[in-house]
Amino acid sequence: MNPQQPHDAVLLNEAVEALVQGKQLSDNDTADKSEQKIDGIFIDCTFGRGGHSRELLSKLGKNSYLLAFDKDPQAIEVAEKLQAEDDRFGIVHDSFSLLEQEVEKRGWTGKIDGVLMDLGVSSPQLDQAERGFSFMQDGPLDMRMNSTKGLTAQEWIQQTKEEDMIFAFKAYGEERYAKRIARSICEKREKEVIDTTKKLANIIAEAHPRWEKHKHPATRCFQAIRIAVNSELDDLKAVLAQALEVLSIGGRLVAISFHSLEDRMVKQFIRDQEKGKEFPAGLPITEDMIERRMKRVGKFVKAGEEELARNNRARSAVMRVAEKIG
């Protein structure tokens, strides 16, 4: 797949509508509702190939701004072209864990109207064998979202202690046979260089005692390695807390997750902010002492039949929306 080629952004309309719903109409508004624009400052934490960003910009008035983040150099190439076309858009080539820092630098803390997170690996990354994300195509064992720095998956496999590998497979891949698979990888790496996706997938498949129907036995371990190499869950934990701080009252967080670990973290974060502070049992408290900071907006959203027919990768997507209230 051409890295410049557009691809379907998952839950595109649902995510953008959730972000802009109820926001202030632009001064250059028209009587035609289909052409009404809104003003505000928004963040797209994961630009990808710009599907969500472009759709959001189409809804924004001339006094609005959208700042996006991405680690991937190929995504940055696409984003820089959009930046040259539209002065309401800017891009940061780095992790979204720098959200609060970049917002503060621009004097926007507490003024952000919406933060969008489309988490996980993108379709173009999966579709390029040379990126090493997929066991479906043979390629170099890389898996870095930012292919210019950090440990590759090959280096991670070679350097990681067996007990740390077991932890990663269990915690990030929820792999039941983590110990057996990690032991096999560690034995194999002493005899040969594990430098391609096919080599690693075959080692995992041979070590896995029970294959799930319609699921490659390497699926969970590849997910775990990718998460470890890219610090995905650490970055997500950081950005959720930061999003709360940069949002304005009434500003919205929209998060699209593709596996249970991400979704669990997002769900728990929103729940904790809804619940507010915890106090010892029996202690008399008032509502303002609880300091609830967010409220859920509706139920979680999944892709509809029409989108699933068009894009099979949307099947695991879960979108959650929350609004800052304090």
Q: What is the pLDDT of residues 26-78, one digit of tens each?
A: 776 555 555 789 999 999 999 999 999 999 999 999 999 999 999 999 999 99
pLDDT at position 177 is 97
CB contact burial 60-69 (16+ within 10 A = b; e otherwise)? bbeebbbbbb
CB contact burial 282-297 (16+ within 10 A = b; e otherwise)? eeeeeeeeeeebbeeb
pLDDT at 4 over 50: no
Which residues lie across from 322 on neighbouring strands? 253, 296
As a whole-number percent, the residues of the chain with pLDDT over 70 amount to 95
155-213 pLDDT, tens digit each: 999 999 999 999 999 999 999 999 999 999 999 999 999 999 999 999 999 999 989 88
As a whole-number percent, the residues of the chain with pLDDT over 90 amount to 79
74-91 pLDDT, tens digit each: 999 999 999 999 999 999
pLDDT at position 7 is 57
pLDDT at position 6 is 46
d(CA 188, CA 82): 46
Q: Using alpha carbons, select from 178, 181, 168, 268 the residue that is nearest to residue 225.
A: 168
Which single residue is written with the structure tokens 């988490």?
Answer: 119
CB-neighbour burial class of residue 313 (10 A; exposed 0-12, middle 13-18, buried 19+):
middle
pLDDT band for 5, please (50, 70, 90 cuts): very low
pTM of the model: 0.91
